Amino acid sequence: MKQGTKQTTRQQPKKPVKHKKPKSMAFKNGVTGYLYILPFAIGFLAFLLVPLMQSLRMAFCSVGFDGGMTFKFVGVDNFKWAFTVDPNFVQNMIGELLQMAYTVPSIIIFSFFIAVVLNQDFKGRGLIRAIFFLPVILSSGVLVGIETNNQLMADLKDVIAESSNLTSITDVVKSMFLAEGESLGPINYVFDAVDRVYDIAISSGIQIIIFLSGLQTISPSMFEAAKIEGATAWETFWKITFPMISSLILVNVIYSIIDFFVRSDNEVMDQIKQVMVIDIKYGRSSAMAWTYFAVIAVIISVVSLIISKKVYYYD
């Protein structure tokens, strides 16, 4: 009697399951950042890239309108005209650069101080924060135009100026403590900042919000540990608050520089617009605009390089 043979099947060894390596927090933050800038990138490529290249082409051409827009290559003649022939372009640009160097530090100091105050716990904090955000709304195009062309405010200012020899409260303080013609030296910067407090405040809305959001990310346990160790409020500010917020100082400085150079009462922007719209010199206005853009880019690069060396980054 034949015994049946049993067929045995060998089980194939299971392949080891590959576990995906979890993404790091830096990678996730990077993806989130790219997602935030994606709408701007799409809008730039769709609506701004072609006009930008057209403007760059105009800067090296003489633009005519003989049966349509025509271009005649002239090399760097438009740039030479802006620097050697036009009497106001270089002067206005230097004036704006000096004013920027004078104004941006005041905006950063003011916005940082207000953000520290608004980060404290007190009643009505939400209302006060909303009030300090109002400059962002008031700086919109329509309201700026109303303020600029407000004849009533201009007349009131003239009446006040004619009725008194002292045009500001700082003049009163100076007249009380200083003899006529005496100079305060560096303290004049503080007096000038007080005189321009309205302009500084209306330019500080976004910076206050950025600083405030950074202050709220600092862990309270760090302040509690410093308090247990006996650190004073002054030491806590310089050892914890300021280093932890230093990266946002760089962000706000860059934002303030750009915001200053594109504000509505910028003399260089007004001159570029006049050459383009009134004089109908598209090539010259484009050359002036690209020169202005290059100067701003160089300033931002230098400032970023200097400040980034002092910035404290933490995970």
In this prediction, residues 109-118 reach a mean pLDDT of 88
How does residue 14 score in pLDDT terms, banded at 50, 70 and 90?
low
- Domain range annotation of the chain: 78-104+220-315
Q: Which helix (H) or strand (E) holds 261?
A: helix 242-261
pLDDT of residue 175: 62
Query: Among candidates 260, 284, 257, which has minimal Cα distance to 271?
Result: 284
pLDDT of residue 127: 78
| Residue of higher predicted confidence among 265 and 90 | 90
For residue 134 the two structure tokens come to 């109002």
- Beta pairing partners, 73: 61
Asked whether residue 221 carries a pLDDT value surpassing 80, the answer given is yes
- Beta pairing partners, 181: none
Count of residues for the chain? 315
- Whether 223 contacts 116, CB under 8 Å: no
pTM of whole model > 0.75? no
Query: Among candidates 287, 223, 256, 290, which has minimal Cα distance to 86?
Result: 287
For residue 26 the two structure tokens come to 């830096």
- Whether 205 contacts 135, CB under 8 Å: yes
Contacts of 187 (CB under 8 A, 6+ apart): none
Using CA atoms, how far apart are residues 281 and 5, in angstroms rounded to an integer? 100
Write out the DSSP string of 85-99: I-SSHHHHHHHHHHH
- Whether 264 contacts 214, CB under 8 Å: no
Burial 241-256 (b: 16+ CB within 10 A, else e): bebbbbebbbebbbbb
Q: Determine how β-strand 61-64 pairs with β-strand 70-73.
A: antiparallel
Using CA atoms, how far apart are residues 111 and 212, in angstroms rounded to an integer? 9
Asked whether residue 1 carries a pLDDT value surpassing 50, the answer given is no
pLDDT in tens, 142-155: 455 555 555 555 55
Considering only 114-118, 181-185, 193-197, which range has the smallest mean pLDDT?
181-185
Angle between helices 242-261 and 282-308 (to 10 degrees): 170
How does residue 300 score in pLDDT terms, banded at 50, 70 and 90?
very high
Q: What are phi and psi of 233, to 5 degrees?
A: -60, -35
Query: Among candidates 263, 294, 310, 302, which has minimal Cα distance to 99?
Result: 263
